[in-house]
């Protein structure tokens, strides 16, 4: 008989932290936190003296902090092993990092086009800022922005190697880990200095809230960010913050399940692609051809793992690789055809929610491959999603065949 | 390579239904449903003719139906394999069943005291109603109310045998399956005529909404219930209905995980109890004594299964037995001591939520054993909950020992 | 210089009570109350002893009470000069009154058809109950249900005379004052024993919440109602209760303004009707004819006041007569034509909100005159509403003229 | 008989616009708008072609726009006679103006310290920016930021004269009109180029939402702001935007009433101050002394009007002067004493809500006079607020007297 002696705060288990890391912030008996909406709070009147409004009270004005936001940040801090500051959106969070660090030379990896836009906006204010790629020399770089896993392919970068290079150059390493929240990845463990998330995605997980989070290693950095957030009023909305807290309670079960289903779906679709290829030992059947021959490339961290030099992946992701992957075809028309024929995947942007989504990134981002679809796997049963892909791929093949027949 | 051809509506997989069974009710492009609050809806003006307001429009007045409630009922209907009608609370749902069927003789099984109160309230209006136990003869009985699993022990009743007896007597069988929602149990499969849930519990699952549901076999029965609900205004609140819909998206992952953790925790605590008993082959260690000797009985469906004649349990519950169980001690003081010393279980009533709860039922229900604690297991990590029980049981033993030492 | 010395709780001024009557219930520093959603509340653990869960804590379970509902009831109690109990809808409130008093003979005045349906529902449970009209002898009557002002005409009944008759017969007088909330009417002052409101209407005032309220003279009666409400789970939804509290903050400015605008609009439309009638001293102009000749009757308390024996009206309504009135035409087709042609009045049911609404009651209530439209005046500017009626009435006249021309 | 022919969209009446200016944006039959929460929206699938996601659909992603935000902006645009863009807070709105115009030399009038902080934050990014006072020469100035009425005194600036000076210098005039929303002021009429509001204050009006708004003269400017807002994710939260829409329905009745009550309260307190001064014709009574002798200065636009050269005030404010004013004493201790003794004014920051508030601005803003209290008048009855001030002023006098006595 073994007795596990650890209990909070010593515990590091994600599901427990998700539910109890804000227990110390409750001021009423409500088991489930109320939705804070008040913009202003009565002073503990006796304590108001010159310039001390902020020093002795938890809450004065909702632009600064609210009871809900404080709880949400407490849970995120515990989950992310740092000090979390919540913003109105992921891009607000990204802009907060830039305005806090005010880098003069940024190394920007392959990333979400929204972040590229934020950097552009930053450059409008600071025209002398230089932006280079993350695979260039970091000479003179003061901030490296790395996304891992990468949107839209779900492929994983070697954070540790970027951390070593960034730190050697005296730069700060910011990791946008939106596509792999806890318990999937913990970028501080690989040397990140700042971790950023669009909480709109997995952390929110229900496609019904907009929020972002910056996580720092030190409480002091977080305090600086919070001060600037108060000045600019860039925190999350009242319901957004509350829904985020509610969503975090189920984070581990959602993300683990979505990640597992995605890995199976990637294997299935990649299997379709391979089975459709004739080899000396394999002549594809009609069914195999109809399912797989239109697929050009499938990308996901699970497919990277076989490659040489990718041993870092398992170390970074012991519990799963995320639920976003991409499927590419020969043409944009084919990609759009499949997007329109999937029935259990909404044809809509965003990712990380309980509903499977498929998005045609070229519509948003001119540099994205028009033949690529980004897939975000939700909580539906694997068998149903598999059937959905099978019918859509077969429909594409039938459609193309008819097209060919016409010729 | 196998291709699973089924897709909605043929699909029966719970997680998929949870997310897509309301797809056909969307009237806007919002992927996540907005929170309906309007009490009134513009008439499609051309259609208003004598007495036809209700015939050609989806929504006229929120007491009758709302876009959110319609979606919530669609998902519940699909999950529960019937026709779901949502109410403001589980007890409102219970009262709706009674006022719809207006039974003259009720066979009432062991059940939640709240339901007993509803029956009392019904008797105030219908003083001639007879109420007997569910193990008496069903002669003359017109409605049998069965709870399975039973609150507060989590033990399971043989629904099929009650259905046979009820139907032989010409009675309707109502099953309150609050403690085992889909995918754990489907009472219609064992012959129930009506299934009732307090949606406040597992279906809601976050301790932040109050709702109930009655599920019927025929759409006509559901329509009758809805008509009476319109007359009495007994539907769910606007946010309650919306949060319930949001909660259903994660039902399967929550309930499966909670049920698994509970089964492990029951085995652990029952193991503590047994290990503390001296047998010819086993002399308990000091640790074993401190953990187990104060526990009198542990009750849960998983401990019933070993008993003779309980083969129905696996048939009723192929995917899990629920996350509520009871632990009894020698005295009420011991039970209260443990309730107060558990750190990861809120000492609060209710059950089914993401947070583990412990409740002392005697405080609510005078006929409940004062020495019994009801436990509802949440989504916390098993190891953390196990550690919590270990420390609380050891604290009790140390406390009692000190008491004994004094003597 | 005069100094008004009164301050809460001595104050009786409605706007102040609307905003401060719940001040004593705040447990946090939030100036604006958070939205309570928790269904369960941690016990003050040390206080839990046999059967005392309810005795020493404010909140245990949300079916019984919530922090928001308690505040809402405190404000309503102060405004209504009694003890308010909030329900999920106005009809739930009506049913609660019936099940609490369990009358055997009910005198039911002209009233909202929804209340008639509730009485029918009550009769299904209590088949021996007799229902008579409110102008019959009250001999043997134990409950008189009076609506004032009356829906859909907005005409006012003499509450005091009904109170005298009811009390002489030993009956309880229930007044449904939905159409004239404070500061417009206070039925306890005229002898009502119970006051009922559909809070969905003026009290909510924004067409976005469903709630009802029963107000009693004694705290004990209110406690009995609350106990039955706990048993049946018939309280208001979490957001409904919170929005109601938010709405009460502006009750006086909304209701006074709506009532004033309505009185002006009634005078205008009645003026149209009269100006279109040829008299020895008046030959209507073409404009006068086009505006007024299709109007058969306009009904509202302001038009009753001229009648003999209606002096009670001013006494009952010193601050205004309510914002609901009716306009009748010759035929149902004419009524529907006008309803469809009003542009600033939604053609939708309900009343009391910030938006002007017009409803064709015959569509809901077969005994309502098909030629009658119910109008609920909102917060729009009088001039705009006046212009809207003018164009709709002229459009009707033109339409009818064309019809005639065809013949 | 006169018939007012105007109807929307020709109408300019504030209460009507508040309720109907978003009618054209409704896509469902809901009379009261649902609370939009979806972050993503299904594409009208057939319309998705290269780079056109945004061109043919109303909503794609909630960072860009939502059904609720669109309605809120439509109402604000109509009310403010321009093109409104909504932000997460008033200061976010201010920052958006700065980053859009990127001024090199700012003339900054007396204003809310929060705006000064935003300018400081802007200077961190643009270190060469010059900031001068609004009464300096506008030579080289490209943006003038004027607040009127001024926080915390409620005094009014001559917008037209600043507009003339600004435009002569080629500068843009931004007017922060937070303290006088429609129907109180319309700064575009006096020549403002941009109007800014903290919607948290009067527009929200219930102390339960955080939002800001920038209003431009041209739709193109608004589109530029919206594009930048999409990039930075700086829009309002979902519930904040919805509550703002709900609040706008009652804007006119709230603001007119608050403004009238404030004017009466200012006259009363200023009357106290004057009556306590001995003149050849007036020897103050003991009561007059106790009420007025501790008051040093009362400031509000209504007290400015008597001054020479202030004829612009009536022109700018034909319908009222706002509900914020200041009362100064001799010392900070006196100010704090009064703040603590007012019973119907929360001692809390913010302004514009239904609850009267008193704030000690020195606690937030070191350059504010410690002896000054800012008062924001809510919707309570004038008599009650008057009584509250009388008792607090008398308590101060008694307290000071006792203090003096001790000496």
* B245 lies in the same domain as B257: no
Q: At D133, give phi and psi (nearest 5°).
A: -75, 160
Q: How far is CA C342 from CA B45, B304, C324, C337, C388, in A?
A: 11, 68, 16, 9, 6
Residues of A in contact with C31 (CB under 8 A): 38-42
Residue B90 has pLDDT above 90, yes or no: yes
DSSP 8-state code for residue B33: P
The token duo for A337 is 């055809």
- Residue keyed to tokens 């939205």: C35
B20/D contact by beta carbon, under 8 A: no
The three-class DSSP label of residue D355 is: coil
Q: Which of B102, B128, B228 is nearest to C95 (CA)?
A: B228
pLDDT 10s digits, A164-208: 999 999 999 999 999 999 999 999 999 999 999 999 999 999 999
Q: Which residue has the higher pLDDT, B11 or A104?
A: A104
Give the DSSP letter string of C173-188.
EEEE-TTS-TTT--GG
Of A51, A233, A240, the CB nearest to D91: A233
**CB pair distance less than 8 Å for A250 and B246:** no
Percent of chain B at pLDDT exceeding 70 = 93
Are the beta carbons of A262 and A300 closer than 8 angstroms?
yes
Instruction: Find the residue in D nearest to C285 (Cα).
Output: D1
Residue A224 in any domain: the answer is: yes
**CB pair distance less than 8 Å for A31 and B346:** yes
Cβ-Cβ contacts under 8 Å between A and B: the total is 164
Calculate ∠ Cα D207-D384-C201, nearest 5°.
55
Mean pLDDT along residues C304-321 = 89
D349/C contact by beta carbon, under 8 A: no
B52/C contact by beta carbon, under 8 A: yes
C36/A contact by beta carbon, under 8 A: yes
Residues of A in contact with C240 (CB under 8 A): none
- Residue keyed to tokens 């209907």: B77
Backbone CA torsion sign across C103, C107, C110, C116: positive
Farthest-apart Cα atoms in chain C, separation:
86
Residue A7 in any domain: the answer is: no
Kindly indicate the confidence band of residue A404, based on its pLDDT and cuts at 50, 70 and 90.
low
Backbone CA torsion sign across B264, B266, B272, B275: negative
**CB pair distance less than 8 Å for B4 and A344:** no
Mean pLDDT along residues A295-322 = 92
Q: How far is CA A292 from CA A297, A329, A385, D41, in A?
A: 10, 10, 16, 30
pLDDT 10s digits, B214-229: 999 999 999 999 999 9
Q: What pLDDT does D306 receive?
A: 76
* A266 lies in the same domain as A287: yes
Q: Which of C216, C249, C282 is the last residue of a domain?
A: C249
Domain total of chain B? 2
Residue C110 in any domain: the answer is: yes
Instruction: Find the residue in D nearest to A42 (Cα).
Output: D348
Q: How far off is chain C from B330, nearest CA to CA, in Å? A: 15
C39/A contact by beta carbon, under 8 A: yes
* B29 lies in the same domain as B79: yes
The three-class DSSP label of residue D375 is: strand
* C387 lies in the same domain as C324: yes
* D291 lies in the same domain as D318: yes
Beta carbons within 10 angstroms of residue B227's beta carbon: 12
Q: Which residue has the higher pLDDT, B6 or A187?
A: A187
Interface of B with A in 351-370 (CB under 8 A): 353-355, 357
Distance CA D321, CA B223 (A): 57
Are the beta carbons of B216 and B194 closer than 8 angstroms?
yes
Residues of D in contact with C393 (CB under 8 A): none
Tell me which chains share at least 3 CB pairs under 8 Å with chain A: B, C, D
Mean pLDDT along residues B118-122 = 97
Quickly list H helices, D102-134. Answer: 113-125
* B20 lies in the same domain as B94: yes
Distance CA A189, CA A173 (A): 12
Q: At A46, give phi and psi (nearest 5°).
A: -65, -20
Q: Which of C194, C146, C141, C193 is nearest to C170 (CA)?
A: C141
pLDDT 10s digits, A238-286: 999 999 999 999 999 999 999 999 999 999 999 999 999 999 999 999 9
Q: Which of B249, B272, B290 is the last residue of a domain?
A: B249
Residue B8 in any domain: the answer is: no
Q: At D346, give phi and psi (nearest 5°).
A: -60, 140
Q: Which of D249, D281, D300 is the last residue of a domain?
A: D249
Domain CATH for C28: 3.40.640.10
Instruction: Find the residue in C nearest to A34 (Cα).
Output: C36
* B209 lies in the same domain as B293: no
**CB pair distance less than 8 Å for C390 and D13:** no
* C390 lies in the same domain as C337: yes
Of C3, C15, C272, the CB nearest to D381: C15
Distance CA D30, CA D18 (A): 17
pLDDT 10s digits, A30-57: 999 999 999 999 987 656 665 555 445 6
Mutate to test the interface with A, among D233, D332, D373 (most CBs of A within 10 A): D233
Residue A370 in any domain: the answer is: yes
Q: In what order do the strands lie in the sheet with B357-359?
A: B297-299, B324-328, B372-376, B357-359, B346-347
- Residue keyed to tokens 């507009």: D163
Give the range of the structural domain holding residue A271, as residue numbers without chain letter.
252-406
Instruction: Find the residue in D nearest to B31 (Cα).
Output: D41
Are the beta carbons of A79 and A21 closer than 8 angstroms?
yes
Residue D259, class by beta-carbon neighbours within 10 Å (0-12 exposed, 13-18 middle, 19+ buried)? Answer: buried
Give the DSSP letter string of D145-179.
EEESSPTTT-----HHHHHHHHHHTTPEEEEE-TT
The three-class DSSP label of residue C373 is: strand
Q: How far off is chain C from A36, nearest CA to CA, in Å? A: 5
Residue A1 in any domain: the answer is: no
* D31 lies in the same domain as D71: yes
Residue D278, class by beta-carbon neighbours within 10 Å (0-12 exposed, 13-18 middle, 19+ buried)? Answer: exposed
**CB pair distance less than 8 Å for B348 and C42:** yes
Which residue ranges in chain D fall short of pLDDT 50?
1-9, 54-55, 405-407
The three-class DSSP label of residue B157 is: coil
pLDDT 10s digits, B42-83: 987 656 655 555 445 689 999 999 999 999 999 999 999 999
Mutate to test the interface with B, among C210, C230, C345, C347 (most CBs of B within 10 A): C210
Q: How far is CA C210 from CA B231, B236, C199, C375, D182, in A?
A: 14, 10, 7, 20, 31
Asked whether the whole model's pTM tops 0.90, one would answer: yes
Distance CA A319, CA C357 (A): 57
Q: How far off is chain D from B247, nearest CA to CA, in Å? A: 15
* D242 lies in the same domain as D284: no
Mean pLDDT along residues A315-332 = 96
Domain CATH for C298: 3.90.1150.10
* B198 lies in the same domain as B290: no
Kindly indicate the confidence band of residue B401, based on its pLDDT and cuts at 50, 70 and 90.
confident
Kindly indicate the confidence band of residue A401, based on its pLDDT and cuts at 50, 70 and 90.
confident
Distance CA B321, CA B179 (A): 9
Q: What pLDDT does C2 receive?
A: 33
Average pLDDT, chain D: 93
* B233 lies in the same domain as B355: no
- Residue keyed to tokens 């109807």: D7
Mutate to test the interface with A, among B6, B18, B26, B31 (most CBs of A within 10 A): B31
Q: How far off is chain C from A32, nearest CA to CA, in Å? A: 5
Q: How far off is chain B from C8, nearest CA to CA, in Å? A: 33
Tell me which chains share at least 3 CB pairs under 8 Å with chain D: A, B, C
Residues of D in contact with C31 (CB under 8 A): 207, 346, 348, 350, 353, 355, 357
Q: Which of A171, A120, A112, A116 is nearest to A141 (CA)?
A: A171
Backbone CA torsion sign across C138, C143, C148, C151: negative
ipTM: 0.95
C349/B contact by beta carbon, under 8 A: yes
H/E stretch holding D291: helix D286-292
Mean pLDDT along residues B173-179 = 98
pLDDT 10s digits, B231-284: 999 999 999 999 999 999 999 999 999 999 999 999 999 999 999 999 999 999
Q: How far off is chain B from A6, nearest CA to CA, in Å? A: 6
Residues of B in contact with D33 (CB under 8 A): 37-38
pLDDT 10s digits, D318-355: 999 999 999 999 999 999 999 999 999 999 999 999 99
pLDDT 10s digits, C176-195: 999 999 999 999 999 999 99
Residue D9 in any domain: the answer is: no
Residue C239 in any domain: the answer is: yes
């Amino acid at each position: 008989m073994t007795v596990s002696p650890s209990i909070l705060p010593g515990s590091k288990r994600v599901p427990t932290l998700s539910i109890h890391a804000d227990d110390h912030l409750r001021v009423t008996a409500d088991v489930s936190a109320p939705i804070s909406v008040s913009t202003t709070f009565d002073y503990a009147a006796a304590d108001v003296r010159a310039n001390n409004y902020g020093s002795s009270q938890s809450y004065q004005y909702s632009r600064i902090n609210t009871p809900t936001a404080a709880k949400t940040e407490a849970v995120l801090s515990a989950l992310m092993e740092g000090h979390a500051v919540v913003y109105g959106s992921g891009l607000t969070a990204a802009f907060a990092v830039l305005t806090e660090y005010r880098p003069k030379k940024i190394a920007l990896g392959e990333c979400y086009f929204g972040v590229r836009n934020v950097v552009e906006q930053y450059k409008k204010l600071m025209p002398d800022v230089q932006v280079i790629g993350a695979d260039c020399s970091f000479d003179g770089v003061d901030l490296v922005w790395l996304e891992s896993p990468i949107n839209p392919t779900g492929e994983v970068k070697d954070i540790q190697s970027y951390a070593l290079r960034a730190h050697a150059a005296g730069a700060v390493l910011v990791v946008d880990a939106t596509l792999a929240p806890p318990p999937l990845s913990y970028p501080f463990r690989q040397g990140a200095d700042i971790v950023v998330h669009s909480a709109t995605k997995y952390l929110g997980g229900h496609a019904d809230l907009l929020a972002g989070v910056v996580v720092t290693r030190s409480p002091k950095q977080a305090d600086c960010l919070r001060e600037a957030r108060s000045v600019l009023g860039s925190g999350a909305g009242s319901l957004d913050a509350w829904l985020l807290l509610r969503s975090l309670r189920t984070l581990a079960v959602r993300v683990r399940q979505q990640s597992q289903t995605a890995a199976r779906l990637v294997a299935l679709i990649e299997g379709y692609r391979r089975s459709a290829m004739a080899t000396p030992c394999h002549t594809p059947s009609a069914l195999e051809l109809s399912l797989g021959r239109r697929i050009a490339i499938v990308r996901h961290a699970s497919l990277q793992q076989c490659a040489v030099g990718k041993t870092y992946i398992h170390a970074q992701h012991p519990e799963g690789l995320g639920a976003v992957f991409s499927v590419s075809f020969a043409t944009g028309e084919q990609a759009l055809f499949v997007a329109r024929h999937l029935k259990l995947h909404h044809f809509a942007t965003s990712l990380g929610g309980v509903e499977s989504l498929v998005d045609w990134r070229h519509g948003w981002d001119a540099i994205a491959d028009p033949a690529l679809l980004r897939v975000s796997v939700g909580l539906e049963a694997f068998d149903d999603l598999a059937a959905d892909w099978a019918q859509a791929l077969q429909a594409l093949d039938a459609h193309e065949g008819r097209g060919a027949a016409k010729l």
